[in-house]
Amino acid sequence: MPKKPAPAAAPEPPPPQEDPGYTLIPGTDWEPPKMLIRPADQLPGLSEKELAEEVTRVWKADNPEAAHNLARFSNAERVFKYDPTVEQAVLHFAQEGPLVNASSDEAKEQLSREEAATKTAVDAEEGTTAADGGDEAAEDDARGLRNQFNFAERTCQTLNYPQRERGTMTEPPPSVEYAGAATQWDIFDAYMEDMDRKREAEKKASKKSAAKERDAAKKDDAGEPTGKSGSAQDLIEGAEMGHATQILERMVNQNTYDDITMDFKFWEDASDMYREGEGTLLPLWKFQTERTKRKHVTAVRWNPAFPDLFAVGYGSHHLFQQGGG
């Protein structure tokens, strides 16, 4: 059998042509040829539509290094608050100089002062000339005009010693790591030891009190004074009875004016929620006399012996309107 011919090989694709970086437009009879050079940063292979598309870029004068979460303390509200205003200006160089703008107010004021000084100097020279005479006056006038702006300054600079810093560091104190563990039986044993110590202390206290009672009984049998009086009169007029009486009196007064006391302690005013840091109280009582009208309270002093008693001083806070208190 005759052999079949081998299939023809597929043609290889042409190698990609290197982009020359420019576009050549042929010329005509009236115009010469043009060569459009493509920028170096332009992507190759862009269509006419993509090249004609406008890309908008917005330039902002914001400082990228400026902080955007500044918090400043507000003295009015007593809290730290975030400040939305951020300074975007960055100062790269600043130098103060002696030059001023000729059209500024400061330059005009400086010129007026110089003209006034010059006029004063000229008037003084004219007066000197009229007093001294012709030649000498003319020579002085010429000398004054010649040396009016001729001056010199002498300055010197002393030696500036360089700054030196000296520091020292102490050795850190030695540290020791300590660790321990407490189990249930350790805690139980510690409680038992504490209870035993308390029992021993109670036994010692009971023994001391029993010994004191025996000594007091012996003194009573011997007829010695024990320092205590068992009469009813001493019991009633004693300091302990006076203290107990004051407590009972306070309890009776508090029970009598219980509603006023409760209002003073627990009374709430609805307007207090609109007063920051302030509030109102319901007064328990008030007192006034005819002699204290139109007078200011200048002093209040509590009695150190009787806590429920205090004295009030009346007078005037006006410096030029003083009177009897």
Token pair recorded at residue 150: 């001729």
Which residues are CB-contacts of 5 (< 8 A; sequence separation ≥ 6)? none
Q: Is pLDDT larger for residue 1 or for residue 262?
A: 262
Closest CA to 263 of 285, 288, 287: 285
The predicted-structure confidence for 27-80, as pLDDT tens digits, reads as follows 888 888 888 787 777 777 777 788 788 888 888 888 888 888 888 888 889 899
Tell me what pLDDT residue 19 has: 63
Which residues are CB-contacts of 300 (< 8 A; sequence separation ≥ 6)? 310, 311, 312, 313
Is 320 a residue whose pLDDT tops 60?
A: yes
Tell me what pLDDT residue 20 has: 66
Tell me what pLDDT residue 131 has: 61
Q: How confident is the model at residue 141 (pLDDT cuts 50, 70, 90)?
A: low
The predicted-structure confidence for 295-309, as pLDDT tens digits, reads as follows 888 899 999 988 778
Q: What is the pTM of this model?
A: 0.23
Q: Which single residue is written with the structure tokens 């805690």?
A: 187
Mean pLDDT of the chain: 79
The predicted-structure confidence for 179-209, as pLDDT tens digits, reads as follows 888 888 888 889 999 999 999 999 989 888 8
Least confident of 207-211, 251-255, 274-278: 274-278
DSSP 188-203: HHHHHHHHHHHHHHHH
Task: Answer for the pair 259, 282: CB distance below 8 angstroms, yes or no.
Answer: no
CA distance 273 to 283: 20
Tell me what pLDDT residue 171 has: 87
What mean pLDDT do residues 286-290 have?
Answer: 80
Is 248 a residue whose pLDDT tops 80?
A: yes
Length of the chain: 325
